[in-house]
Chain A
Amino acid sequence: MKRAFILGIATALTSLPAWTQAGSSPSETPPASRLPPTTVLKAEDERVAVIDKAKDSVLAVFASTGKGGGSGVVITADGYALSNFHVARPCGNAMKCGMADGQLYDAVIVGIDPTGDVALIKLFGRDDFPHAELANSDQVRVGDWCFAMGNPFMLSTDFQPTVTYGIVSGVHRYQYPSGTLLEYADCIQIDASINPGNSGGPLFDAEGRLIGINGRGSFEKRGRVNVGVAFAISINQIKNFLGYLRSGRIVDHATLGARVGSDEEGRVVVTDILDNSDAYRRGLHYDDEIVSFGGRPISTANGFKNVLGIYPKGWRIPLSFRQGGKRYDVLVRLRGVHGKEELIKKTKARPRVVPMPIPKPGEKPKKVQPKPDRRPIPTDRIKKTVRPKPPMPEVVKKHFQAKRGYANFYFNRLNRDRVWKAWIAQGDFAGLRGTWTLSGQLEQGGGEFQFQLSDADGLLKLPAGEATWTATDDYSSSLSPPHSGGLLPALSLWRRLAVEGPDRFGDVTYLGLVPLAGHEGLVDVLVGLHKGVECHFLFDPVEGHLLAIEMFPDEDVDPCEIYFSEYRQLDGRFLPGRMEVHVGDDLYGVFRFDEFEFEK
């Protein structure tokens, strides 16, 4: 604000040359007339048009109590929108969102990513919300023009967003978290003005496509105003998390289970590794050199943290490392940064540092924190001072369900049922409670096989012999057949889900979208908990087919992986023609199905 004083003088002296050059290339000579060249005017018109279109998807986010808020951006026609976790958290479960059309819409929290500082919310009232097009933020270059929109200082009362223009100052930046939350990995640094209130708002490229969510500035030294350095969460990172966020969960970021550092020769090497991590089981050891991770070459420790920061817990990511001069290419399953309870606790706690606190009118930066009043507060005073929460609007109430560990359990149910219905549409197994007999040939002339599956037991007949399995209270205690990782209990759980459905299976929730090796695009995952094991069912989000099962007898043990393919129709049901079974790095077997018998 005060800086404007200096600039005021400057512009008065120099306004003409400054404006005639605006938008033009540096080589352009000033025209004889006072009018800028047509190319300049055209560029300006284009810019104005892009901004005019982009503004329609921008949100001014307000807490229902009227206190606090920030910005956001709509990304789907049915009203899903992005903001920052640090904006959504103080708003609670329901918020109000103002749009450029002048309307105020009710919105509900959907999912939160406290580590990545992202929140997914959903607006109500329309099915044709103007929404932003998501760009490929890996293609953003330093020097590209960009613009930020939002509600800095909560200035706008008619919900018209403020626009600030700038260039990309840096890409693939790493900004340390506060504790384990609010980590900005692989983010985009810009010099467009970002001020308190801009948090959660969109960063657009020059064509008006969404490249990031603005959330952080370097405000350490000069108070709570723009200092020409701000950071946006890349939209590519958010794309990775979007499926998880739609699950209504509090989602976690990932670790490799290993620490890395640069050695004297500048190589990035493993300095510490947990022996119960998937990375360790895939062969990564102390002092191995990290060559590439997530498809990116790794040359610095920050580069490694950048890759780690863009993936959710549980994803399997390609890792290449060098050990004793030999290169290994593996897929590693990422662990969570937090324990489940730890994440819930941290999410509820007051954040230690808020990236962009909104100053109250007339507030001056505080130098001395007043000492907290440690006297116990009489209970009768609490009743007077605690404000009642405003009632949740009806539409929000209908779309909200509280559950521990979830931001909004309603959306978990919604997606669980969507995936279930898509699967069942391919073939209904309801009432087929008798023995299932699956027979066929082992691949490559391995001979005939037959599975017999029922509620209480399972049998696999192979040319070499038979394996049996009997259901107990702890499935992890009998992972039959040997060396299969538990193929019979895993198939039994598949049968159970198909026959009983998610409600009677036990505890079945929606995890989100994950990558699956050999499959283009991400796939839906349902997680079933039953008798001491965790079973992941991976579904094709388009066809609805079950693509894979991963049964985890324990968190720190390689799961039994079952891959189904070559679906064809048999007796009105789509059934797999081929099943591949893996444990860790080993292939257990490939089964080709000829016949399915489902007893009632």
Chain B
Amino acid sequence: MGTNDCNLQLSICNVLLAATAVIASAEAARAAGTSIAQVIDGVQPKIVKIYGAGGFRGMEAYQSGMLVSSEGHILTVFSYVLDTEYITTTLDDGRKFDAKLLGADPRLEVALLKIDAAELPYFDLQQAIEVEEGARVLALSNLFGVATGDEPASVQHGVVSVKTNLTARRGVFETTYRGPVYVLDAMTNNPGAAGGALITRRGELVGLLGKELRNSLSNTWLNYAVPIQQLRESVEAIRSGKFVSERDEKPEEKPQRSLDLAMLGIELVPNVLERTPPYVDRVHPGSPAAEAGIRPDDLIVLLGQRLIQSCKSLRAELEYIDFEDQIKLTVLRGQELLELTLQAK
């Protein structure tokens, strides 16, 4: 008895539902669209709190990130926070993981971390969309480190004010990135926000919140995100082994005679720390380095496509290069990234 009645009731319900659905579809869409709370609930599990180096003189020891694979790849910005052996991450559910810096692309200031986890919710970078000026967006990040443990990231709302190139004001912003950005009308890019996600109000990924950028002319701060389209290639490159800082477990065989810094005419700053940044201290006159245009105070960031994070790692990497091979060094000079070609004599 119960079954038939139930079916009957159900079908009546269905008819009613169908009828109301047509009438109220606009209203329902509006309701669904404005339920930002639901969209946010769906996105929060993909946001990561990242902790690393810093913690003094206004340099916060934390930033934000987002999961971009189910097995624990985390997209974030490449900053001093990652300049440590001990990067830890906290997922939205409160689980803590040590993270490994898989690699970074200094040109885009983007980094990929890896944690040892599986079956995680993530943003598919291929599904990221582009938005127009005027689009309404949400920014999720752990700005000011407000959230800890399983507390959800902070959410802000805003409008894409303009999509423009940072190069438009060259020298005004202290950044190496020259590509397009979404400029936002919300106060998103605060300490700790870098690496957070910019999404549409339907939850689609749009951009990566950048580092704090101060306009040196007006002493104001820019709120912006880098479109995901700009980053996809680099992320793929890092995942396929480029721009990585560590070698695979089985090192390649070293050449019989390796290249070294003396052959190039480069002297680095004294190696006093575990991870001394590889700044050029002196360049010998007439050396290959001098001819290539390397100058004191240049910071070496890439050797070929390998990420260089310390004096020690630069020396170690050179051991894998034959003394007669041509090399490409990418150096940071001021806010400028330069790629220079060198060959030992």
Chain A contact residues, CB within 8 Å of chain B: 2-3, 5-7, 9-11, 13-14, 16-21, 25-28, 39, 141-144, 166-170, 172-173, 175, 189, 191, 218, 220-222, 226-229, 262, 266, 299-300, 302
| Interface 9-mer from B117-125, B133-141, B251-259, B284-292 | B133-141
Kindly identify, within residues 109 to 127 of chain B, every residue whose CB is under 8 Å from any CB belonging to chain A: none
Answer whether residue B13 sits at the interface, using C-beta atoms and an 8 A cutoff.
no
Question: By the criterion CB–CB under 8 Å, are B221 and A229 in contact?
Answer: no
Partner of A229, one of B94, B143, B220: B143
B156 touches A191 (CB 8 A): yes
CB-defined contacts of A169 to chain B, threshold 8 Å: 154-156
Interface flag for B216 (CB, 8 Å): no
Interface positions of B from 49 to 89, Cβ below 8 Å from A: 58
- B220→A6 contact, CB < 8 A: yes
Which of B28-36, B302-310, B322-330 lines the interface with chain A? B28-36
Q: Note all chain B residues with C-beta closer than 8 A to A166.
A: 156-157
B190 contacts chain A at the CB level, 8 A cutoff = yes
Q: How far is the CB of A290 from chain B (nearest CB, A)?
A: 14
Q: List B contacts of A5 (CB < 8 A).
A: 218, 220
Interface core residue of A17, A26, A189, A222 (most chain B CB under 10 Å): A26
Assess whether A143 is in contact with B219, with CB atoms less than 8 Å apart: no
B36 touches A143 (CB 8 A): yes
The answer to whether B40 and A143 touch across the interface, beta carbons within 8 angstroms, is: yes
Q: How far is B146's CA from A229's CA once the two chains are assembled, in angstroms? A: 9
Chain A residue contacts of B162, Cβ below 8 A? 9-10, 13-14
Q: Given A169-B154, A189-B154, list of 8 further CB < 8 A pairs?
A: A17-B134, A26-B201, A26-B202, A39-B30, A170-B152, A227-B190, A262-B149, A300-B148
- Among residues 170 to 217 in chain B, which have CB atoms less than 8 Å away from a CB atom of chain A? 183, 185-188, 190-191, 200-202, 215
Q: Is the CB of A228 within 8 A of B221?
A: no
CB of B156 within 8 A of CB of A14, answer no
How many angstroms from the CA of A142 to the CA of B161 in the assembled complex?
24
Question: What are 14 A-B contacts defined by CB distance under 8 Å?
Answer: A5-B220, A10-B183, A19-B134, A27-B33, A142-B37, A170-B154, A189-B146, A189-B154, A221-B58, A226-B187, A227-B190, A228-B188, A228-B190, A229-B190
Chain A residues closer than 8 Å to B41, beta-carbon distance = 142
Please state if A21 and B144 are interface contacts (CB–CB under 8 Å). Answer: no
| Contact among A7, A27, A170 for B155, CB-based, below 8 A | A170
CB-nearest residue of chain B to A18: B134
- Within 8 Å CB of A143, what residues of B? 35-40, 138, 155
Known: A27-B33, A167-B36, A299-B149. A228 touches B186 (CB 8 A): yes
Whole-angstrom distance between the alpha carbons of A20 and B135 in the complex? 10
Chain B residue nearest in CB terms to A15: B134
Residues of chain B within 8 A of A302, CB atoms compared: 148-149, 151
Chain B residue at smallest Cβ distance from A173: B146
Measured between alpha carbons, how far is A175 from B156 in the docked complex, in Å?
A: 18
Contact across chains for A25 and B151 when beta carbons are under 8 A apart: no
Interface residues on B, range: 35 or more
Choose one: B39, B136, B185; the contact of A21 (CB below 8 Å): B136
Residues from chain A with a CB closer than 8 A to the CB of B147 are: 170, 173
Instruction: Tell me if B231 counts as interface (CB < 8 A to partner A).
Output: no
Residues on the B chain within 8 Å of A11, using CB: 161
**Structural contact, A227 and B187, CB atoms closer than 8 A:** yes
Set of chain A residues within 8 Å of B138, measured between Cβ atoms:
143
Q: Is the CB of A7 within 8 A of B33?
A: no
> What CA separation (Å) do A414 and B190 show in the bound complex?
49
**Residues from chain A with Cβ under 8 Å of B136 in the complex:** 21, 26
Contacts of A10 in B (CB 8 A): 133, 161-162, 183, 185
Say yes or no: is B336 at the interface (Cβ < 8 Å to chain A).
no
Residues B146 and A142 in contact, CB atoms below 8 Å apart: no
What 10 A-B pairs are tightest by C-beta distance, nearest first?
A228-B187, A25-B33, A17-B134, A10-B161, A143-B36, A143-B37, A14-B133, A18-B134, A10-B162, A191-B156
On chain A, the residues within 8 Å of B236 by CB distance are: none
Question: Among A3, A5, A143, A262, which residue has the most Cβ atoms of chain B within 10 A?
Answer: A143
B135 and A21: CB pair below 8 A? yes
Q: For the complex, what is the distance from the CA of A299 to the CA of B149, rounded to whole Å?
A: 9
Are B40 and A218 within 8 A (Cβ)?
Answer: no
Q: Does B281 belong to the interface (CB within 8 Å)?
A: no
With a cutoff of 8 Å between Cβ atoms, the chain B residues found around residue A218 in the complex are 143-144, 146, 190
Chain A interface, >50% SS class: mixed
CA distance A178 to B58 in the complex (A): 19
Residues of A within 8 A of B200 (CB): 26
* Residues from chain B with Cβ under 8 Å of A300 in the complex: 94, 148-151
Query: Which of A11, A16, A17, A18 counts the most B-chain CB atoms under 10 A from its CB?
Result: A18
What residue of chain A has the Cβ atom nearest to residue B95's Cβ? A266
CB of B26 closer than 8 Å to a CB of A = yes
Residue on A nearest B169 in the bound complex, by CB: A6
For residue B301, CB closer than 8 A to chain A, the reply is no
A26 and B33 in contact, given A170-B151, A228-B156 (Cβ under 8 angstroms) = yes
The smallest C-beta distance from B307 to any residue of chain A, in angstroms, reads 29
Asked if B225 lies at the interface with its beta carbon under 8 angstroms from chain A, I say: no
Q: Would A167 and B157 be within 8 Å (CB), given that A17-B132, A229-B190 are in contact? A: yes
How far in angstroms is the closest Cβ of chain A from B323? 49
| Interchain CB contact under 8 A, A13 and B133 | yes
Contact of A172 among B36, B151, B183 (CB under 8 A): B151
Inter-chain CA distance A228–B223, complex, in Å, is 11
**CB neighbours of A266 from chain B (8 A):** 94
Cα of A409 to Cα of B86 in the assembled complex, Å: 56
The chain A residue sitting closest to B219, CB to CB, is A2
Closest residue of B by beta carbon distance from A169: B154
> What B residues does A21 contact at CB under 8 A?
134-136, 159
Q: In the complex, what residue of chain A is closest to B155 when comparing beta carbons? A: A169
Contact A7 B151 (CB under 8 A): no
Residue of chain B at shortest CB distance from A206: B34
The CA of A25 and the CA of B37, in the complex, are separated in Å by: 14
Taking a contact as CB atoms closer than 8 A, the residue among A18, A26, A222 that contacts B133 in the complex is A18
Cα–Cα distance between A169 and B222 once the two chains are bound (Å): 20
Question: In the complex, what distance in Å separates the CA atom of A299 from the CA atom of B95?
Answer: 12
A266-B148 Cα distance, complex, nearest whole Å: 13
How many angstroms from the CA of A262 to the CA of B96 in the assembled complex? 13
CB distance from A287 to the nearest CB of B (A): 20
Contact partner of B159 among A18, A175, A191, A227, CB < 8 A?
A18
Residues of B within 8 A of A16 (CB): 134
What's the Cα separation between A173 and B153 when bound, in Å? 10
Please name the residue on chain B nearest to A5 by beta carbon. B218
How far in angstroms is the closest Cβ of chain A from B27?
8
In the complex, which residues of chain B have a beta carbon less than 8 angstroms from the beta carbon of A26?
33, 135-136, 200-202
B34 touches A25 (CB 8 A): yes
Task: Give chain B interface residues in 1-58, CB to chain A under 8 Å.
Answer: 26, 29-30, 32-41, 58
Task: For the complex formed, measure the closest distance between the CB of A172 and the CB atoms of chain B, giving whole angstroms.
Answer: 7
Contact: A141 with B219, CB < 8 Å? no
Partner of A27, one of B156, B185, B202: B202
CA distance A227 to B200 in the complex (A): 22
In the complex, what's the smallest C-beta–C-beta distance from B42 to chain A, in angstroms? Answer: 11
Instruction: Give A10 Cβ to nearest chain B Cβ, in Å.
Output: 3
Q: Which residues of B contact A229 (CB under 8 A)?
A: 143-144, 146, 154, 187, 190
In the complex, residue of chain B having the shortest beta-carbon distance to the beta carbon of A140:
B37
Q: Which residues of chain A have C-beta atoms less than 8 A from B32's C-beta?
A: 25
Docked Cα-Cα span, A227 to B190, in Å, equals 7
Q: Complex formed: what's the CA distance from A5 to B40 in Å?
A: 31
Flag if A6 contacts B152 (CB, 8 Å): no
Q: Are A222 and B221 in contact (CB-based, < 8 A)?
A: yes
A252 to chain B, nearest CB (A): 26
